[in-house]
Amino acid sequence: MPRTLTPFMSINVDQIRKDFPILERETANGRRVIYLDSTATSHKPLEVIDAMNDYYRRSNANIHRGVHTLAEEATALYENARERIARFINAASFREVVYTRNTTESINLVAYSWARANLKSGDLVILTEMEHHSNLVPWHMLQMERGIELEFIPVTDEGLLDLDAYKSLLGRNPKLVSFTHMSNVLGTINPAAEIIHLAHSAGALTLVDGAQSVPHLSVDVQALDADFYAFSAHKMCGPTGIGVLYGKSALLEGMPPFLGGGDMIKEVKLRSFRANTLPHKFEAGTPAIAEAVGFGAAVDYLTKVGMDDIAAHEHGITEYALERLEEVPGVKVFGPPAEKKGGVTAFTLAGVHPHDVAQILDQDGIAVRAGHHCAQPLHEKFGIPATSRASFYLYSTKEEVDLLIKGLYKVKEIFG
């Protein structure tokens, strides 16, 4: 039977769930969708869907260059969303918020623009063993191209970063420390402020992968003193196809453009060009305008609910899930205890491949993720090829956790 925990409901989950039409969906076999895959992508509230629909119905036009009514409306919507996103993360200026396609492109922008202008053979970049591939592969590519060195902060058996090892690595004078604020597998919430302070003390810049943190925690880039911070809209109730690179203005000003073409230019001649001002310097071509409108609506929605309340709710759900998973014989959960992690629970079930777990759960409408979650090196660290992952958000409930546990017992019964 479920254990009784201290009540944690700081938000009206029943009311919130009404904002997400997809949660009324039933699968082909008539099962209600139990969505435990928000780490991969979140669902979208009606406010976001309606904002994007309204843009297409009323204001659809290209931005910045037109002077007619629709173009000016579209431009205002696009740029106003940027200002709201800047406030959401407490950027010093909207000019420090660069639209990209996603977190991956944001990290690549830093690797291609800042890093290729500033790093040379032998320069050290420090990463961690818990990184998503998006914060590994760009640096591997630069290593092959430039001969930079890569070192990694180890992950302990508990799923935490070894900060003593990190401090030792800082003695090698790194140029950049790039790390995830919250692991998409272990759920570990890393001490970002401390990591950044130590990096700066060693003379290094910092790049934070905030794909999993900005949707779930109250993030203040100025308080963290992050040099670069990357995140995606689709993981925080917004649309796919748009993300943000936050960068301190002095750094962005000194970086060469990432892509060339329309809107990122101030002036073009046959034999030369001048780049546009921030942030448009890094936004070539027609952007994702409707998606920016939706992104703005998403941060409005999250702000209305309250990020601290969302974090408290997810903590309670995660604590409850860990308690219930302990009851299931053969389940092994990876990562730290609830007080050190976000709403992510990766686990294995003895004798059953994670993909089989996910497929059987899906028969009852329960959506979990199975695989290496774009973090193969981390899974190799723990000596496993894959895990099943249940992840939670502001619309998740204890009842859904109970159905997950019931489903795991069904898996055990099928596999004997």
Q: Give the CA diameter of the chain.
A: 74
Q: Which amino acid makes up residue 190?
A: N
Given strand 97-100, what is the order of strands in its sheet? 97-100, 243-247, 228-232, 205-209, 176-180, 124-128, 149-153
Q: What is the DSSP string of 97-122?
A: EEEESSHHHHHHHIIIIIIHHH--TT
374 is catalytic: yes
- C-alpha 111/C-alpha 248 separation (Å) is 16
Catalytic residue among 49, 374, 384, 405: 374
17: closest CA among 41, 40, 45?
45
Cβ partners under 8 Å of residue 269, min gap 6: none
Instruction: For CA atoms 225, 300, 211, 38, give the dihedral sign.
Output: positive
- C-alpha 215/C-alpha 102 separation (Å) is 13
- C-alpha 257/C-alpha 245 separation (Å) is 14
Number of C-beta neighbours around residue 261 at 10 A: 12
Chain centre to alpha carbon of residue 160: 18
Token pair in block for residue 189: 């919430």
Which contiguous run of DSSP H or E holds residue 296? helix 289-305
Strands 176-180 and 205-209: parallel
Number of C-beta neighbours around residue 337 at 10 A: 12
Token pair in block for residue 65: 């260059």
- C-alpha 138/C-alpha 85 separation (Å) is 26
Strand partners, 99: 244
- Residues with catalytic roles: 374
